[in-house]
Chains A and B, each alone.
Chain A
């Protein structure tokens, strides 16, 4: 008998569940997963509302990015705190509180006029981030009670699918809402971004009601007693006092190994997700806004599919062949990921990736491979490992701690990548790949160290940790010196490019380049002059358009001026006047139609 067949036979023998259990578990998992996907709808709606908010309130792109960053910080911190309380109140209560809170915040944003100020909106969105963070620990805790250790890998793979499906749902719903629709007596015009905060909560509310009636905290609550075995003693129930959970999780070294590794997953996954549209435009020469090439469409379609497949297969493999141990599979995946991204770094440095047929194919292939490996580690380290560590009792907090590191890792990774990309020459994303390679390799080392520790090779494990510390120090030293070398070259290059573009009359390119220079060297004289000149042109154009009654042109030019200089511009006044005029014109048109 082959090893695979033997493993399968053993596994099947150990997992004989009573009749009806698998169906009940499937129903429970579907309900919990659907609820979690709905959480995503009330969170990713912000992505689609950004353009409308910018147009209505005159916020800059930087303001929108700041709100998203604050949300991430609130979410990461919420994972820590809510995870702790989740172990006390149970996963079901945690998810329901999260759902009710998120519904309230979203509806408040959708209906309240006072969310039009930047600080009010940012504060509300941070509250939403904090409340939303009750979802993951709750879901992980519920599922901890429903799966044996050797079944959780597959569950975590399906968790990856739930994330993708939540994003897919809001991606389909948002354009439909923004395009305008009518339903019974409700008529919504095009561009009504506030509806993005009022319609998704309806779906979340409906699913929360379904969740309340169908989901069960554990198999025992559903009438299947003693079906699931746990390493931790659950004879006194599956909820624990906050202090006990805190002590257990914080003093458990396994949590920290996984947390460090998961921070690396966050750095790679978020960098790949958030910067790939820029990579398509800057490196592969695609036009992402108007003319998306076939290969880009195909890659964007393929990425979520391979991500889900990778998650499911890695989870299943850790269940079947490693008796539910996640770290060997995670280690192989991290090192595999490091090899793939290192190859991409080399190919990029050699100038092979670029707007040629071979370059585009290679560039897209690397993105797909990164998606497989990053999402595979995301599922087994983020969803399965916390359950293995915390068991039914403390999975909530273990998940909270580990998951929060994903967001801190992402923030760190994006910050470093942003700094180095700013000083890179156009179309050169070598540092992007390079930084992702370092994080992937670091994650692999964390898992290697854990593997050695579990095999009772403490000295070797400590040696790997020492090596990791050396990696951090040498990486920081190398990165800082590289940044210092690249910065003056980049400033000179972009200042020249801005000047050439301005002289050629390409104001958009000129301001882009000049703003890039100003980010690197605030107060750079030549760049300031270009920005001021372009800003004055926009203000003048807005005033002229307003005087001529062309409201749309006035709004567009005023918005461009605001994007250049924030709120310290006379364009704000022009924008307000143009909007007032626009409203008056619309009202007059409506009255004329009614008459």
Chain B
């Protein structure tokens, strides 16, 4: 039996493959500094508001509205970051430099705020925020290679 004969993908798997190709194609583009700022900053504001809403008791906006809006804003933010990284000649995976510290905060931030005095948890948040802020500033300011050539 050959390898090819052993693996004939079923239609569901082919459908999934096509969806993945479609998603990845969306991430392939690149954008310049100006476009990045005009697209990313509003998304950042929406995500910050969503976080603020989440830590309110009770939340100001109901979950059934907040969750889909946050998910959509998060997806578009990833898309925009990835496009901008491509523009400065880097892999889109570099967006992890921004996403990971945020994720760490989402994971432990609540615990820290509940258990530590403000100066300590604000200090921790500041330490976590330093690198993402540097990267975002770079994305806002650094001249691109691809858009410039175009």
> Is the beta-carbon distance between A19 and B13 smaller than 8 angstroms?
no
In Å, the complex CA distance between A586 and B90 comes to 67
Dominant SS among interface residues on chain B: helix
Q: Which residues on A sit within 8 Å (CB–CB) of B23? A: 20, 23
Q: Please indicate the chain A residues that have their CB under 8 angstroms from the CB of B9 in the complex.
A: 216, 220-223
A481–B91 Cα gap in the complex (Å)?
59
Q: Is A183 an interface residue (CB 8 A)?
A: no
The 8 A CB mask of B10-39 against A (1 = contact, 0 = none) is: 101110111011111100100000000000
State the CA gap A23–B92 with chains docked (Å).
12
Q: Which of the residues B3, B17, B91 comes within 8 Å of A235, measured between beta carbons?
A: B3
One of B41-49, B69-77, B111-119 contacting the partner = B111-119
Q: Are B115 and A223 in contact (CB under 8 A)?
A: no
| A478 contacts partner chain B, Cβ-Cβ < 8 Å | no
Are the C-beta atoms of A214 and B21 separated by less than 8 Å?
Answer: no
Mask of A293-314 contacts with B, CB within 8 angstroms, 1/0: 0100110010001000000000
Scan residues 28-43 of chain A and give those whose CB is less than 8 A from a CB of chain B.
none
Q: Cβ of B67 < 8 Å from any Cβ of A?
A: no
Q: A24 to B17, Cβ gap below 8 A?
A: yes
A237 B12 Cβ-Cβ under 8 A:
no
Interface check B56, CB cutoff 8 A:
no
Closest to A28 in B: B16
B112 cross-chain contacts in A, Cβ below 8 A = 298, 301
A24 and B20 within 8 A (CB):
yes
Task: Say whether A72 faces chain B, with CB atoms less than 8 Å apart.
Answer: no
Are B2 and A235 in contact, CB atoms less than 8 angstroms apart? yes
Asked if A224 is an interface residue, CB under 8 A from chain B, the answer is yes
Contacts of B111 in A (CB 8 A): 297, 301
A218 touching B7, Cβ below 8 Å = yes
**Interface magnitude class on chain B:** 20 to 34
Please state if B7 and A27 are interface contacts (CB–CB under 8 Å).
no
* Residues of chain B within 8 A of A27, CB atoms compared: 16, 20
Tell me which residues from 343 to 389 in chain A have a Cβ below 8 Å from any Cβ of chain B: none
Asked whether, in the complex, the Cβ of B17 is within 8 Å of the Cβ of A294, the reply is no
A23 lies within 8 A of B13 (CB) = no
Is there an interface contact between B24 and A23, defined as CB atoms closer than 8 Å? Answer: yes
Q: Are B20 and A20 in contact (CB under 8 A)?
A: yes
Indicate if B62 sits at the interface (CB-CB under 8 A).
no
Nearest A residue (CB) for B124:
A298
Measured between beta carbons, the chain B residues less than 8 angstroms from A235 are 2-3
Cβ contact within 8 Å between B116 and A22 = no
- Minimal beta-carbon separation of B51 from chain A (angstroms): 19
| A234: interface (CB < 8 Å) | yes
Are B7 and A225 in touch, CB under 8 angstroms?
yes
Chain A residues with CB under 8 Å of B3's CB are 220, 226, 234-237
Bound form: Cα–Cα A102–B29 in Å? 45
Are A222 and B21 touching (Cβ within 8 A)?
no
| Contact of B104 with A by CB under 8 A | yes
- Which chain A residues border B65 with CB–CB below 8 Å? none
Chain B residue at minimum C-beta to C-beta distance from A218: B7
Contact, CB under 8 Å: B16 / A24: yes
**Would you call B149 an interface residue if the criterion is a C-beta within 8 Å of the partner chain's C-beta atoms?**
no
Given the complex of chains A and B, what is the CA–CA distance between A220 and B22 in angstroms?
19
The yes or no answer to B150 lying at the interface (CB within 8 A) is: no
| Residue B64 at the chain A interface, CB threshold 8 Å | no
Show 12 residue pairs from A and B whose CB-CB distance is below 8 angstroms, ordered by the A residue.
A19-B21, A20-B17, A20-B23, A168-B107, A213-B12, A216-B13, A221-B9, A223-B9, A234-B3, A236-B3, A292-B115, A301-B115
Give B contacts to A, CB under 8 Å. 1-4, 6-7, 9-10, 12-14, 16-18, 20-25, 28, 91, 104, 107-108, 111-112, 115-117, 120
Please name 8 further chain A to chain B contacts, defined as beta carbons within 8 Å, in addition to the given A20-B22, A23-B24, sorted by A numbering: A19-B24, A23-B23, A220-B9, A223-B9, A235-B3, A294-B117, A301-B108, A305-B107
